[in-house]
Structure 1
């Protein structure tokens, strides 16, 4: 038995991309783990299918009809097998490149979302005591918080199956179809008209912000992945300074990091008008444990004035971010449509850089044994740069994902280093005029390759 409903407003942009690029893995969301211990593949397969059974978004396929896109929910899906790759018979030297290749392949294998569930699991047997797990979901059916729910439930079901004990899972939230129906109702009855008017005014003439490119596609070797990923944990001194300033300024660590990114963008481009995308969860308590594409994108736009202090700019960035979040209910695809309808669509993408707070930890626990996470190198996504900030007791980490169509690995690495130096200078003298801190010289020293004229028209950053 199946049921059908329209493509949700938050899925529209992804569905359009998938129709135009049916073999692209750009919206794959991989989680990679290493498990040291006795791993049970049968229990993992049972857990995967039980999670699929519980969440309708994971047993949904997508189709285009004469009346538009629809999603079809299968209420009795066929079991999804776990893909198992066995590298145990190889030497350590021979196994290493094959292991990384297998992980990258599993993480970036395109989904056929018209015919198969939007989730899969690959188990790679590395040795008798080590197993790599690559759990991948498609973003049209899953967001970051959904992946946390999936991992948490997968682990609970796996442990229960291993013990032969009854399940004691948290109650299910409403299915994703209920969320879609509520959004469509809000759009049809005019409840979001004020949000639409806000975004038309706020984003008039906007040009998505991006750091100047360097190298990029010309330097990418054939057959390599299309992104460069780097995870950096702020050193203890910088993290302590960040948290102390957040308390003094009555701000959040995320707002401070976002403000520092906007300052670096202004220094790098010479343009004070900085518009950066950030993801919002889109979840009310009712949908707290619903799996699906609930996350929305808002655009935080700020005029960065280098003659002012970082403290002063932080206040403006924070207020702008809160204002954007207050208007998050209008799906981003409809924001873009509003700009087009009003004749305000800029010549370049509305969002080229994304700066968001990521979820802290996957929630996956497999019982006896040691579990660790690893970064997954992914195919090129729609943004030039995406930065995800993780705040946890173990530290403050920033995961950077650069599109290699725009940046070489060397330039990407340099920008990551420059950001930390600029952040440190801003925190050392937050009340000084920013144009007195030597930020332009710092950026030119650390990132010597890009030129400010590679990002399009330039404007006075002040």
Structure 2
């Protein structure tokens, strides 16, 4: 298990999981494989308390001797006809869509520039094969006497419109690509009609194309984008060579997960996990009082821009060393520095920051396109002038406790807490921070040079969202910020201060 997940040949029994490149997402996947193979439920914290094979094996033996079998029912295909309940996360987005129909805020975008001989027929056939495989991409959402339900369309033919813009100068070509991608990203979906996946092609020359893919968040997430790219590459390669798709049929579908989640997370299970979040967030400040360049609007308009910044590989290596010395992950170390930065700027010692987790805690969900991602509210007490190591210990504890209760969708936490509501800011937290370690993949094909590029429609859900990516050059920071409140120069200055911290 360690070897496959870490991609390390023959790891030693005393090698540290995190020193070998492990992180919280891989730890979740390892726990899922233990559950699946041995029917033993191990807490995620066990990976942090016993990060070597030898120590983890001892905890595993103790758990098996204690008959600590998994209390979680298995995720299996469920026979169903007609209307299906929504998952908790889907339900939240559906209600938002009812309040703000035609909103493109929850569109997920990807763009691929392609040079070479494109087989348009094979590409169209590829996209429809993926739609056939994943029920989520054939799902629509209806109102059934005030309650949302999802319906799966048995057969759906996804169109692939082609816009031709040939003969443009290099500068005009770049402008047209940006215009085309932004136009596609801002076009809303109708959840009641579908399809909730949109694929469009821009032809710039006989051998130059731009493929733009837009997916509504209610049927997908960042991990789904990686799966989509991976399946596109495999299936397109097969179809261009007159071969059938080599991908096996999926064992379960997202609708099975939605039903399973509703059946499991209820009653005592729901009450116990909600109790943790109620206690954890009791008395938390409703708003992070950051100094802004302009007053916070009475109603959020979600206008946004992006700034990027790179921290050197040398400094990143030192951060890894500190993390390992403190039995923490790189994410925990970065979050500690980030919450310290926010405390310095806001003057507050009680800081709540949102952070996303993949939400795919069961191996059966790893190959599904669907909305699994969850957001955890990371609340840290910075009172008492702690040293950085002491602060990191607090953040580590908060993160591990949050991971242990991550099955409760954030939407359900908000519903139960009933926090102070305002059209001016998001409930619970207004700033997001994440280290992106979700597997990345790009659409690749023989005879084509493919380059993935970012699409930013100029919208943002939060005041600020900071995302960190490990690259060959160091740590890339990508900050999406609300332009109604902040100037670019302010965000750039904060990034410099973050690096100093």
Same fold flag (TM > 0.5): yes
* 8 Å contact kept, 1:173–1:288: no
Instruction: Answer yes or no: is 1:205 the counterpart of 2:265.
Output: no
CA RMSD of aligned residues (A): 2.4
* 8 Å contact kept, 2:112–2:443: no
Instruction: Answer yes or no: is 1:239 the counterpart of 2:313.
Output: no
SS of 2:450 mapped into structure 1: strand
2:262 to 175, 181, 184: 184
SS of 2:395 mapped into structure 1: helix
* Distance verdict in 2 for CA 1:31–1:229, change over 3 Å: same
Q: 2: distance between equivalents of 1:368 and 1:209?
A: 51
> Residue in 2 aligned with 1:254?
331
> Residue in 1 aligned with 2:165?
87
Aligned pair count reads 413
Instruction: Answer yes or no: is 1:278 the counterpart of 2:355.
Output: yes
> Residue in 2 aligned with 1:415?
494
Provide Cα deviations, 1:34-87, integer angstroms capped at 9, x if missing partner.
22322222222111111111111111111222141111111112x111132222
* Distance verdict in 2 for CA 1:242–1:368, change over 3 Å: farther
Instruction: Answer yes or no: is 1:108 the counterpart of 2:161.
Output: no
> Residue in 2 aligned with 1:445?
none
* 8 Å contact kept, 2:442–2:452: no
2:112 to 28, 33, 43: 33
SS of 2:219 mapped into structure 1: coil
SS of 2:148 mapped into structure 1: strand
* Distance verdict in 2 for CA 1:24–1:243, change over 3 Å: same
SS of 1:277 mapped into structure 2: strand
Instruction: Answer yes or no: is 1:13 the counterpart of 2:92.
Output: yes
Residue 176 (structure 1) shift = 0.7
TM-score, normalised to structure 1, is: 0.83
* 8 Å contact kept, 1:228–1:412: no
Q: What pairs up with 1:31-430 in 2 under 5 angstroms?
A: 31-77=110-156, 79-206=157-284, 207-209=286-288, 211-215=290-294, 226-283=303-360, 284-305=362-383, 307-340=385-418, 345=420, 349-358=427-436, 359-391=438-470, 395-422=474-501
* 8 Å contact kept, 2:465–2:480: yes
Provide Cα deviations, 1:203-262, integer angstroms capped at 9, x if missing partner.
1122254643224889xxxxx992212333322222222222222222211111111110
SS of 1:85 mapped into structure 2: strand
* Distance verdict in 2 for CA 1:254–1:173, change over 3 Å: farther
* 8 Å contact kept, 1:208–1:276: no
Structure 2: gaps spanning 5 or more residues: 1-79
* Distance verdict in 2 for CA 1:121–1:319, change over 3 Å: same
Structure 1: gaps spanning 5 or more residues: 219-223, 423-462
Q: 2: distance between equivalents of 1:119 and 1:86?
A: 21
* 8 Å contact kept, 2:200–2:212: yes
* 8 Å contact kept, 1:277–1:300: yes
Instruction: Answer yes or no: is 1:24 the counterpart of 2:103.
Output: yes
Q: 1: distance between equivalents of 2:303 and 2:464?
A: 12
* Distance verdict in 2 for CA 1:211–1:372, change over 3 Å: farther
* Distance verdict in 2 for CA 1:226–1:346, change over 3 Å: closer
TM-score, normalised to structure 2, is: 0.77
Q: 1: distance between equivalents of 2:305 and 2:384?
A: 30
